[in-house]
Structure 1
Amino acid sequence: MASKLETHQPHSLGPKSASSDDEKLKEETDLGESQSIAANGLLEAMGYEPELTRNRSTLQVAFMSFVLASIPYGLATTFIYPLVGGGPVNIIWGWLIVSIIILCVAASLGEITSVYPTAGGVYYQSFMLSPPYYRRIVAWICGWSYVIGNVMITLAVNFGSAQFIIACVNVFEVSPGIGIFEATAYQTFLIFLAITILCNAVSSLCNKWLPYIDVSTEKEVFLSPTDIALQTFAIFWTFAGLLAIVICTLVVAKNGRHDGAYVFTSFEPQSGWPVGWSFCVGLLQAAYTTSSTGMVISMCEEVQHPSKQVPKAIIGTVILNTLAGFLFLITLVFVLPDSKELIALASGQPVPSIIKSAIGNSTGTFLLLLPLAVLAIICGIGCTTTVSRSIWAFARDGGIPYSSKWRIVNNTLGVPFSAMMLGMVVQIALALIYFGSTTAFNAFSGVGVITLTVSYACPIAVSFIGGRRQIKNGEFDLGKLGAFCNVVALVWSILAVPLFCMPSSIPVTTETVNYAPVVFVAFIFIATAWYWAWGYNKYVGPPTVDDAVIDIRFSSA
């Protein structure tokens, strides 16, 4: 490590300065190695053998979490839901309300992760926080929900990417309202298939380059200009794209701008539901975009000090997402065309049409949308990575059929390749639903939100019911504020499950029916059947931790 970095020391430094830098670098490297050793010792005390490389920093984990939420791409692909639910009020205030709620979820998960930082995430945490007499069933429910949630959100991201890319291409028109690429169902599916395969290929074959930086401490130590360029590219691309959309859209605004009263107070429900429920159904956009909050916990075994790094990353990312999302949404609402025309779009993707209306020409619109399309692929790669980790972590405790096949880490690639391929096959199989209903995306995103919400609620609920005793052993105890966050998170969980099983509008037709309940129940049936066929007699849950975990944590603090 040191010798590799020494080659990048400036030649102008004198011997004394170079020696001082070398000593400082050696101290940082030694500290990083000691943190990794301590983290691996904690993992071994939890009953697991370290198999993944700890090569990610706080910044890297935070950025990955940011990419999983994928602001503004995630908000763009689901913009139709608050538009139908209530228009401007639903879009702006719905985002802020859900973001505050998710901040409470993030704080709650951060507290628990600081105590039990493993790739098993909320599944392992639920088991350890529950009393012995029902910990197996809680862990089973949480584990399946977490795995399903990761798979479904990744499927929704890749499928939404295919639809969004088609909508971007169709800003070029052969005649008014008619795009140049009227994609059929099989063409949309093939684009989704290509995106899915690409994301899996990058995630599996390029894992050692994904972190981009080598970190010996909380401070990033860059290896070379190439590594710096790779690390900064996605960050620059995201924020440069966001700022370009905001500035160009508001400055050009070819069809004018709405006033502040319209943006912040206009409520136009068009879903057919009662007013209050219509607003709630429109929250799917915000819930979908923020549902990835706890997915990054699966990376705990790839950071050097997960008890501190991961909680910081989870909470910091929610705050950043809230600000970036608010900036993006308020810009779109200021130049929003007639909402009825946007809702009637066959693509179900109103954002390209909104930006084209403001910019006034196809080429400029396409260039502004291009960063979002690239961000969609980056998001898919990040989601694919978390899918493989979540399946692998649950499989190593026997929670998935034929677990022996999915718990293997490919030593050459450094990733759980078999688990990644299982996730990919399941996603492709479920995407076939699209041939039966063009609203399949609603089912994918809805099930993803529901199952991840349930998985997050499990450890929070058992911790709260148990008096939050174990939280005091962690490095991120929020005290009374943490208890308040627990209550908010649990109330949200109770609301979210029935809410996102509902169709986005009524009356319901074969094209607007929400298949989320069907898919959700199907997974419940599979999980239940496997539990009674195998789990009831043989599943014992993750290894039982003892006081050694607490001793190791405090001795390494």
Structure 2
Amino acid sequence: MRLRASSIGVYYQAFMLAPSRWRRVASWICGWLYVVGNITITLAVNFGTTLFFVSCINVFEDENGEGVFAGEPYQVYLIFLGITLLCNAVSALGNKWLPWLDTAAIFWTFSGLIAIVIVILVLAKEGRHDAKWVFTHFEPSSGWPDGWSFCVGLLHAGYATSSTGMIISMCEEVKEPSIQVPKAMVATIFINTFAGLLFLIPICFVLPDIQMLINLASGQPVPPILKSAVGSSGGAIGLLIPLMVLAILCGIGCTTAASRCTWAFARDGAIPGSKLWMQVNKSLDVPLNAMMLSMAIQLLLGLIYFGSSAAFNAFSGVGVICLTASYATPIAISLFTGRKQVKTGRFYLGPLGIVCNVIAIAWSLLALPLFCMPSMIPVEATTVNYAPVVFVGATLISGIWYWVWGYNNYAGPPTHTD
């Protein structure tokens, strides 16, 4: 009987698409990229939520016009710790309620966005920009040349869309995954595009001074923008609460996906200590050990914040790098082997598929070096991009483990059962 696609989908795809001689190595590399990408993107989501919460608190100011919360590194880390523990607790203890949370998140997103858009456009306490300014004004301030500055700014767009493929990690928990998962991935792109434009365009119409936003210590511009638009701290926090709840829901979803792909890769013996991480907690019906491993790695990497205030860019950068590379691996294998294996698929696109493959690979070749760059120059000790360091470290671990154990023992993902 044929198994459904693995919870670590792109790794399964790489194995099935690659020539038999290379399929073990291809799936090993792809799988490690995907696992590291899922864990670090989850870390970036929860760490970004932490910084966002700090900025939300600081819409309230003291008599000197300073935010009421200092946000010292240890305070930031403790909030990050709390958010990470909360997301893991909900994912582990509320497994049967997760589909309801996902559905609720969709309605919550649009209701919150509509409320924000209406309020800021109606009030606009500091005025509104005209359409020409919103759609044509470009103001580089990163120190990079104009064109490259624009490209470096794509990190956040890449970060926002890179987790789309994490849907594959839920393959073994849905009915008819070969149909439902692709539909969900495509629908996510359209929903994200619509919701993103619905949010960003009105925000641009009420933007305050850009230089002030750039100099924010928190690096989180949305709370100050909303405060300037509504003219009060209370009104701003009222509009921010839907975004704060949505950020937690996003963290729960990413935590769940990261645990599933970690479990699946461990199940196939590709992670050191796999016998421990592959166990499923029968009472909770979740891979609790794999979830705790993912959480422990996130908390350890979070310590980078004590050495670099640009840690969030490092976390999101390495997540985008690893996920982009993992997504590109089966696409490249399929393209360079003549796309023979996908011709019998349910969503075969013919010549259009070749165009999509080429565009995807071209974007990947741009994104991989791009997201290793520091966000601003000149580079200082606190603004170093640690993404390449984490990426190289994970690559070394995977390479050493393949040499020590994988070459003689790793057979790839299961493709059938007796």
Query: Same fold by TM-score, threshold 0.5 exceeded?
Result: yes
After TM superposition, list the pairs within 5 Å mapping 1:155-554 onto structure 2: 155-175=43-63, 177-212=65-100, 233-544=104-415
Q: Are 1:139 and 2:10 matched, yes or no?
A: no
Match of 1:126 in 2: 14
Q: Output the CA distance in 2 between the equivalents of 1:472 and 1:202.
A: 41
SS of equivalent residue, structure 1 residue 542: coil
Q: Which amino acid aligns with 2:56?
A: C
SS of equivalent residue, structure 2 residue 381: coil
**TM-score, normalised on structure 1?**
0.73
Q: Output the CA distance in 2 between the equivalents of 1:364 and 1:155.
A: 30
SS of equivalent residue, structure 1 residue 502: coil
Cα-to-partner distance string for 1:353-379 (whole Å, 9 max, x where unaligned)? 111111100000001001111111101
SS of equivalent residue, structure 2 residue 125: coil
Aligned-pair distance for 1:407? Answer: 1.1
Match of 2:36 in 1: 148
Aligned-pair distance for 1:493? Answer: 0.6
* Uncovered stretches (5+) of structure 2, i.e. residues with no partner: none
**Cα pair distance change 1:131/1:545, threshold 3 Å:** farther
SS of equivalent residue, structure 2 residue 285: coil
Q: Which amino acid aligns with 1:313?
A: A
Q: Which amino acid aligns with 1:152?
A: T
SS of equivalent residue, structure 1 residue 173: coil
**Cα pair distance change 1:133/1:232, threshold 3 Å:** closer
Aligned-pair distance for 1:233? Answer: 3.6
Q: Output the CA distance in 1 between the equivalents of 2:26 and 2:365.
A: 16
How many residue pairs get matched? 418
Cα-to-partner distance string for 1:210-251 (whole Å, 9 max, x where unaligned)? 223xxxxxxxxxxxxxxxxx6754333211111111111111
Q: Which amino acid aligns with 1:117?
A: A
* Uncovered stretches (5+) of structure 1, i.e. residues with no partner: 1-40, 44-115, 213-229, 549-557
Q: Output the CA distance in 2 between the equivalents of 1:273 and 1:160.
A: 24
Q: Output the CA distance in 1 between the equivalents of 2:104 and 2:413.
A: 39
Q: Output the CA distance in 1 between the equivalents of 2:330 and 2:102.
A: 33
Q: Would the aligned equivalents of 1:150 and 1:386 in 2 still touch at CA under 8 Å?
A: yes
Q: Which amino acid aligns with 2:195?
A: A
**Cα pair distance change 1:484/1:139, threshold 3 Å:** same
Larger Rg: 1
SS of equivalent residue, structure 2 residue 41: helix
Q: Would the aligned equivalents of 1:128 and 1:545 in 2 still touch at CA under 8 Å?
A: no
Q: Output the CA distance in 2 between the equivalents of 1:239 and 1:130.
A: 41
Q: Output the CA distance in 1 between the equivalents of 2:98 and 2:360.
A: 32
In angstroms, what is the RMSD of aligned CA positions? 1.4
Q: Output the CA distance in 2 between the equivalents of 1:455 and 1:232.
A: 28
Runs of 4+ displaced beyond 2 Å: 230-236, 543-546
Cα-to-partner distance string for 1:417-465 (whole Å, 9 max, x where unaligned)? 1100100000001101111111111100000000000000011111111
Q: Output the CA distance in 1 between the equivalents of 2:162 and 2:104.
A: 25
Percentage identity across paired residues of the two chains:
64
